[in-house]
A and B are shown apart, each in its own frame.
Chain A
Amino acid sequence: MNQDKIRNFCIIAHIDHGKSTLADRIIEKTGLLTEREMQSQVLDNMDLERERGITIKAQTVRTVYKARDGEEYVFNLIDTPGHVDFNYEVSRSLAACDGAILVVDAAQGIEAQTLANVYLALDHDLDVFPVINKIDLPSADPERVVEEIEDVIGIEAQDAPLISAKTGLNVEEVLEAIVAKIPAPKGDPDAPLKALIFDSVYDSYKGVIIFCRVKEGRVTRGTSIRMMATGAKVDVVEVGYFGAGQFIPCEELSAGMVGYITGSIKNVKDARVGDTVTNDERPCAEPLPGYKKVNPMVYCGLYPADGAKYPDLRDALEKLQLNDASLQYEPETSVALGFGFRCGFLGLLHLEIIQERLEREYNLDLVTTAPSVIYKVHKTNGELIELTNPSNLPDPSEIDYMEEPMVSAEIMVTTEFIGPIMTLCQERRGQYMSTEYIETTRALLRYHLPLNEIIYDFFDALKSRSRGYASFDYELIGYERSELVKLDILVNREEVDALSFIVFSGTAYERGRKMCEKLKEEIPRQLFEIPIQAAVGSKIIARETVKAMRKDVLAKCYGGDISRKRKLLEKQKEGKKRMRQVGNVEIPQKAFMSVLKLDED
């Protein structure tokens, strides 16, 4: 394959600005796919992703485009996940491209995430050209958006195609722009093999399927390959490229090409995103730069609602991990919840996705404990603990000091909401950095915030306090020393370990009070009165009481319609099933998660 005729690119956009729709149109217009084969969104093939309108797992499509110059070009459209939790995956996908299409909504303009992704693309030396989408909307203002792109991002946008991915309007211009503006790949096909892994999936027949961009050299069936970071070695069984929704085997992948490799690789951990594939017999001198092992940022306990389902949960996590090297888990035990797992995630969205997949695909009913970040606990004896479970916090007398992870956050907001958003950031212990006006009505706020303040409900609070207009992006910037305490919750005078969490000492009282109030709402009345207390150490800082169950309504008999009564009783009984017995109190499963959403008043 002639490198001149290959274009490797991705589409970057804010959620809902039309990335997947444009991808579909490109696939459709390049004609490799009949209309009938088109799913409504070919790239997003996981149910969950479709419901959330975001792309979680990167996928890639190869299509053939016959350009106006009469030549056929191979387009490798590399999909990128669209959420900050998956930033590292995004960066590896970008590294596999030579250029990027920036899609900006003609009505919404630039958002925080757009900026973050564009900067990431420019960092990878990609040629970025803009496309203005949704010009069919009545509120579209392409001229303003063109100016905004030039002012804020500093890239040429005057001749940006004005399109509607939805109706297909002017999509041909995008195709021509890909040919004209995205550079063809370079790289010596005769040099030693050097290929970047940008994704991998587990297939029960083929084992792990490595998605890669060949930078130099070539790989065919039978090549002995080695992953340079993990050291895993395997003989290639098949190479190929990506049809829409299918794997199409081919003879060889060579420099400049994007495709897949299979061998008998049993675990995605052996073929991590960012690693370099080389020929074991003729290795390249240096791996590609930028590999890192991604580490979880957020931890929480996952417990089966029904204790007997513990082995099922273990099997399910094992299976999910086959496809998701960033998911970590290890067994733990909670007094309140029994046997479960402490799991590590890239962020809260990742956590929610895994939780939902466990519930839907594996039919498990789960109890999730409060997510926690990793705290560094410096003990007086010089020991350093990386704490992922609040229950393991040493006695305060053994602690010298603690540190918590900090992020640098960028929040894009219309000027009328700057006040409320700054208040929110202050409430969350944000350190104000700067305000930058993008245009007269919009500004970019920069804050340093403790990660622990944004993993719960920050995004929801941000949306509600800006009527949905604010957008948000963040990156980890390191650890800072902080006054932290463990807040314990006692239900009927018994500590519920699954509800303990680490909190800034200045907000412990407020948090404790709100948690007690919330739990009071969530815990149904029982035969006796139940005190709910929040404590720091041995000091009770807040208290609420769930009154004893009084009486039921005296129902009428509905002309012998017993099914009504039965349904009522079944509902009552079902409710009890979703409860956890702590001491002699029953706590509903959802109470464990709902206490995190304390910003709702």
Chain B
Amino acid sequence: MKKELGIYVHIPFCVRKCDYCDFLSFPAGEEAKERYVQALIDEIKSVKAQMQDYEVPTIFLGGGTPSILRANQIRRIMDALAENFTVHKEAEISMEMNPGTYSPREMQELMQGIGLHPNRISIGLQSASNEELKGLGRIHTYEDFLETYRGLRAAGITNINVDLMSAIPGQTLKGWETTLEKIAALGPEHISAYSLIVEEGTPFAEKQLDLPDEDTERLIYERTGEILEQNDYQRYEISNYARPGYACRHNISYWKRENYLGLGLGSASLVENVRWNNTKDMEMYLANTKEPQSLRQDIEVLTDQEQMEEFMFLGLRMMEGIGVKAFQETFGDEIEDVYGEILEELYREGLLVKTNDRIALTGRGIDISNYVMAKFLF
């Protein structure tokens, strides 16, 4: 049997960069986008030789805004992946899409025909309040989102994620509840609910922001779980909720430290316990995609200790937590021998709980997950 390798494809373009955004993304003209698509296809062809032993269970087109590319450009990327990799028949193929970027016609075009096409769409909505959207520097309205959502359903997409963001400027508890309820009523298969992080170097970092106070933020966060669970969404990861059977397989592979290959500018990879990132320099990327090795930077061969650390701090993001036996099978050491003391402390503090073979965060542990996870670093 072949080994598995998820694929992430980065599209570093957007119409306008949002005021909070810290991702590798920028506006670009049609010509620049086409050059990039061509380069990406070259990179796919060039890595083929190195990846013959693998088959691909998941693909994720992220950004930026992948839907800034025309449908036929996405199709060409898909075709290149199909030609050069062994992609599972049942593969999960996710694509991020911003409201209002595709016309219903284009959505149809994207999904039709033989060959690979996205079967899971992640819509970057963030809020159902137009005022809040404006405050974030988003260029779409809630109505744009509804149109896109309906267009996707009409095009036959049966797996949709909606990204929501809490703790944003001007947000009240009521406002957040309204957003959640509206979306839950719409019934996407998956909802991601993150909180805003004001990152250095973004316009938000420069501004006086009217952010919800701590108590509101706390309530917002509690209500998220309650409302979504009432609506049949199950929390499977710190910030991700899904209807049964619709958890995002690609994201789970990150938490389980499965192999994944990043393609495109600035993308991250983990293959056989080696991590690297592609260059973030567009000129360099465009000039060298035929030699993918030369794009790779920050190459890190993970030590056993680093692998154990990751196993813990990534695995604990999932509500099912980590497996005691899986740890032993992966590293040959008993988890008790490596982390016994820390685990005891965290059980005692009520932040972790052990049930049979699994160790997972408690509700309180989820609240302060960074505190818990930092404990597992050597």
Contacts and interface: CB of A to CB of B under 8 A. Distances in A.
Interface of A: 527, 549-563, 565-566, 568-570, 572-573, 576
Interface of B: 8, 10, 23, 60, 62, 166-167, 192-197, 214, 217-218, 221, 238-239, 251, 254, 260, 262, 267-270, 275, 277, 298, 300, 309-310, 313-314, 349, 367-371, 373-374, 377
B262 A560 contact: yes
Contacts of A557: 251, 254
Nearest to A552: B370
Contacts of B166: 554
A4 B272 CA distance: 83
20 contacts: A527-B349, A527-B371, A551-B218, A552-B368, A552-B369, A553-B167, A553-B195, A554-B194, A556-B197, A558-B268, A559-B8, A560-B267, A561-B268, A561-B277, A565-B313, A569-B370, A569-B373, A570-B374, A572-B371, A576-B374
B367 A572 contact: no
A559 B262 contact: yes
Nearest to B214: A550
Contact of A569 (B192, B214, B313): B313
A563 B268 contact: yes
Contact of B370 (A550, A562, A568): A568
Contacts of A560: 8, 254, 260, 262, 267-270
A562 B195 contact: no
A563 B373 contact: no
Contacts of A572: 370-371, 374
A248 B197 CA distance: 63
B194 A555 contact: yes
Contact of B239 (A555, A563, A565): A555
Given A558-B268, A562-B275, A570-B374, 16 more contacts: A527-B368, A551-B221, A551-B367, A553-B196, A554-B193, A555-B197, A556-B194, A559-B60, A559-B62, A560-B269, A561-B277, A562-B314, A563-B275, A565-B313, A569-B373, A570-B377
Given A562-B254, A562-B310, A563-B298, A554 B268 contact: no
Given A554-B193, A562-B254, A549 B374 contact: no
A520 to B, nearest CB: 15
B330 to A, nearest CB: 16
A558 B268 CA distance: 9
A557 B239 CA distance: 10
Contacts of B374: 569-570, 572-573, 576
Nearest to A561: B268
A569 B8 contact: no
Nearest to A551: B367
B367 A569 contact: no
A320 B251 CA distance: 56
B367 A562 contact: no
Contacts of A549: 368, 371
A563 B266 CA distance: 13
Given A559-B268, A572-B374, A550 B367 contact: yes
Contacts of A552: 367-371
B195 to A, nearest CB: 5
A357 to B, nearest CB: 31
Q: Which of A550, A555, A561, A566 has the most chain B CB within a 10 Å cutoff?
A: A561
Contacts of A559: 8, 10, 23, 60, 62, 262, 267-268
Contacts of B267: 559-560
A205 to B, nearest CB: 43
A573 B372 CA distance: 10
Contacts of B369: 552
A557 B368 CA distance: 17
Nearest to B23: A558
A376 B192 CA distance: 66
Nearest to B351: A527
A569 B314 CA distance: 11
A553 B369 CA distance: 9
A569 B374 CA distance: 5
Given A557-B251, A559-B62, A560-B260, A551 B377 contact: no
Contacts of A550: 214, 218, 367-368
B270 A562 contact: yes
A551 B197 CA distance: 13
A561 B370 CA distance: 17
B314 to A, nearest CB: 7
Instruction: Give 6 closest A-B pairs by Cβ, nearest first.
Output: A551-B367, A572-B374, A561-B268, A554-B239, A552-B370, A569-B374
A565 to B, nearest CB: 7
A576 B376 CA distance: 13
Contacts of B349: 527
